[in-house]
């Protein structure tokens, strides 16, 4: 049995684990969010700080806060720009929603 390739593991949500950088793949539209941490009261480890779990959408970690498609390999810029604009109208996840998204991204 061949060694398991990280790109071929199955996520719980059925999405591809990584973007394949192929022209016929779905568009690669990215965002990133900030998860604020603070040092635990006993000073021994990091904990998630209150602003991350206050119920509001997380802050974007991208410089202009907009979704990015710079690495999309589609070669269809009009399509790609329209989808990126649509993605910018989708609220970023709250902390609780991010916890679910992380769970969904883990291998089965
Ligand atoms: Zn694209």
Instruction: Tell me the pLDDT tens digit for each residue of 33-65.
Output: 999 999 999 999 999 999 999 999 999 999 999
Angle ∠(78,32,98) on CA atoms, nearest 5:
120
Ligand 1 centroid distance, CA of 87 (Å): 12
For residue 107, what pLDDT band results from cuts at 50, 70 and 90?
confident
Ligand 1 centroid distance, CA of 69 (Å): 6
DSSP 28-48: --B--B---EEE-TTSSSEEE
> Which pLDDT score is estimated for 7?
54
Phi-psi region of 101 (alpha: psi -120 to 50; beta: other; left: phi over 0): alpha
> Which pLDDT score is estimated for 6?
53
> Which pLDDT score is estimated for 108?
77
State yes or no: pLDDT of 96 exceeds 90.
Answer: yes
CB-based contacts of 102, cutoff 8 Å, min separation 6: none
Ligand 1 centroid distance, CA of 83 (Å): 8
Per cent of the chain over pLDDT 70 is: 92
């Amino acid at each position: 049995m061949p060694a398991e390739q990280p790109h071929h593991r199955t996520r719980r949500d059925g999405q591809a684990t990584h973007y394949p950088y192929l022209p016929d793949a779905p568009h690669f539209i990215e965002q990133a969010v900030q998860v604020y941490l603070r040092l635990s009261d006993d000073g021994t480890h990091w904990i998630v700080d209150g602003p991350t779990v206050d119920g509001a959408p997380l802050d974007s970690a991208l410089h202009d806060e907009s979704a990015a498609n710079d690495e999309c390999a589609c070669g269809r810029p009009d399509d790609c720009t329209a989808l990126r604009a649509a993605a910018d109208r989708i609220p970023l996840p709250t902390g609780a929603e991010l916890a679910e998204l992380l769970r969904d991204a883990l291998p089965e």
